[in-house]
Amino acid sequence: MTDETPDTPPVASSDDSSTLGPGTPGPVFLVSYPKLVFLYPTVLAALFGAIFMWINGNDPTQGYARLPGIIFLLVMMVNFVVIAFDFPRTTSLTWFFAVLAVSVGLWTLASLYPEFSPWVSKQMLKVSPTANASFYMIYVLLMLFLFTCVMVSRRFDYWEVRGNELLHHHGVLSDLERFSAPNLRIDKEINDIFEYILLRSGRLILHPSQERRAIVLENVFFINQKEERITKMLGALQVRIRTDHT
């Protein structure tokens, strides 16, 4: 997905009021996604497991089957932590130093007690998470089905920012709500550094001029590019309004 392509295909409206001229940036489409979309690394790990098992004979009783199983479980654990908790910059630094301190502590313990490391390694080798290629492939297909359902549902609920209005497309029959956009104020929040890394996503808060309530859009992909395009569009509108009055 690029900055030039909307998240979802636009729904045609009966009145195209974007009349600021050819130099004005085009409409910006904003889509709010559920946190499910951040599980795609787990899907990639499962796909790797399926391919690995098929190439190597697909026998989960063999020793090689431990590798994709361990990778899949580690990626899944990290992925679940990412979607379960928010990691602002300060929190991320705290976790980094905490993990670093634990690592240094374990290294020191292994240095002081040489028998500790072999015992831990022996206990870890007893854990043998294995699965055949069918297990990994079923997981991939189920997650792809859920991703498809999410993408289809977003076609019936998204926002469109034009030069002089904010449109909310929603419903199977493409119901439309209009808000005034010339005095639109936007706030961008990146509350989770890992979610931003995965999909460049964040929270976008829209404040239409004649609305008391703010419009909060969670998990908007490529949020920096979207904010930049909206800012340019609203700036172009302000310049045009000043020119008209001169």
pLDDT in tens, 43-60: 999 999 999 999 998 888
- What is the average pLDDT score of the chain? 78
Do 30 and 159 touch, CB atoms closer than 8 A?
yes
The pLDDT of residue 186: 82
8 A C-beta contact, residue 165 and residue 210: no
Maximum alpha-carbon separation in the chain: 84
Average pLDDT of the segment spanning 38-44: 95
User: Which structural domains are found in the chain, ordered by start?
Assistant: 28-36+154-244 (2.30.29), 38-150 (no CATH)
User: Which residue has better confidence, 213 or 111?
Assistant: 213
**Each residue of 190-243: pLDDT tens digit?**
888 888 888 888 888 888 877 778 888 888 999 888 888 888 877 665 544 444
167 has pLDDT over 80:
yes
106 SS3 class: helix
* DSSP bridge pairs for 176: 169
pLDDT of 28 strictly over 60: yes
- Report the C-alpha gap between 61 and 47 in whole angstroms: 19
Segment 142-153 shows an average pLDDT of 94
Please tell me whether residue 215 adopts helix, strand or coil conformation. strand
pLDDT of residue 82: 85
Q: What is the pLDDT of residue 15?
A: 42
Task: Give the 3-state secondary structure of 120-182.
Answer: HHHHHHHCCCCCCHHHHHHHHHHHHHHHHHHHHHHCCEEEEECCCEEEEEECCCCEEEEEECC
Nearest Cα residue to 180 out of 216, 158, 211: 211
Count, in order, helices (H) and strands (E) of the chain. 7, 7
pTM of the model: 0.71
Q: At 145, is the pLDDT very low, low, confident or very high (cuts 50, 70, 90)?
A: very high
Query: pLDDT for 54-87, tens place per residue?
Result: 999 888 888 888 889 989 998 999 899 888 877 7
State residue 27's pLDDT score. Answer: 83
CA angle, corner 83, sides to 146 and 195, nearest 5? 100
CA atoms within 13 A on the CB side of 81: 11
Beta-carbon count within 10 A of 93 CB: 12
- Helices 40-55, 66-84: crossing angle, 10 deg rounding: 180
Antiparallel, parallel or unpaired: β 157-161 and 28-30: antiparallel
Q: What is the pLDDT of residue 5?
A: 44
